[in-house]
């Protein structure tokens, strides 16, 4: 049997659980003596803290205490400086990544040969010592027809 976590017990004691979750915790507490004892102890601690908080809220704070609190709140702390340093570091990292990716993409584009998106009928020539053979084909490539043409080479006679 898995026990109820301390966090769930606290939410249960403060009546912040939904009806279904509350019913599950109630059911578990009826069956589990360990969790029931822990819940009773948590209730006592919660009640004592509530009473102490109410008592403290009724005590007047001396003016010097409030002045000290205001002074500490108004003083620039380390947190804004740390936050600023993180902002500078993050901004620098973003700029560096943008530059590196731009340079990398431009280098990749320059190294890649450009290929036309649409192919048109092309003529291919092969030059031999004796003759030139030229073949042309029409699109579409799957049902293409080749028309070879023989041109006599230099010095050839008919």
How many domains are there within the chain?
1
Q: Per the domain annotation, does 48 fall within a domain? A: yes
The model's pTM: 0.38
Predicted confidence band of residue 32 (pLDDT cuts 50, 70, 90): very high
Q: What is the mean pLDDT of the chain?
A: 73
* Nearest residue to 35 via CA among 19, 24, 20, 46: 24
The answer to the question of residue 39 being in a domain is: yes
Asked if residue 152 belongs to a domain, the reply is no
CA nearest to 136, candidates 126, 127, 124: 124
Instruction: State the Cα–Cα distance between residues 6 and 126, nearest whole angstrom.
Output: 86
Residue 69 lies in a domain: yes
| Bridge partners, 150 (sequence order) | 133
| 83 in a structural domain | no
Classify residue 37: in a domain, yes or no: yes
CATH number assigned to the domain comprising residue 22: 1.10.10
pLDDT of 37: 92
Whether 81 is covered by a domain: the verdict is no
Give me the percent of the chain exceeding a pLDDT of 70.
Answer: 56
Q: What is the domain range of residue 27?
A: 1-76
| Cα–Cα distance, 44 to 4 (Å, whole number) | 17
Look at residue 144 and tell me whether its pLDDT is greater than 60: no
Q: Which helix (H) or strand (E) holds 135?
A: strand 131-137
40 in a structural domain: yes
């Amino acid at each position: 049997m898995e026990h109820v976590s301390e966090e769930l017990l606290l939410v249960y004691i403060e009546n912040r659980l939904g009806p279904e979750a509350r019913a599950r915790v109630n059911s578990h507490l009826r069956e589990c003596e360990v969790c029931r004892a822990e819940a009773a102890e948590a209730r006592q601690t919660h009640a004592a803290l509530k009473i102490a908080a109410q008592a403290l809220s009724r005590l007047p704070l001396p003016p010097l205490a409030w002045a000290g609190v205001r002074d500490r709140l108004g003083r620039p702390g380390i947190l804004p400086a740390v936050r600023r340093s993180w902002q500078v570091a993050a901004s620098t990292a973003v700029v560096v990544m943008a530059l590196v990716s731009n340079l990398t993409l431009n280098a990749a584009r320059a190294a890649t040969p450009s290929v036309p998106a649409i192919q048109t009928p092309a003529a291919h020539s092969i030059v031999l010592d004796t003759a030139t053979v030229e073949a042309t084909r029409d699109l579409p490539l799957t049902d293409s027809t080749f028309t070879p043409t023989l041109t006599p080479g230099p010095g050839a006679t008919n």
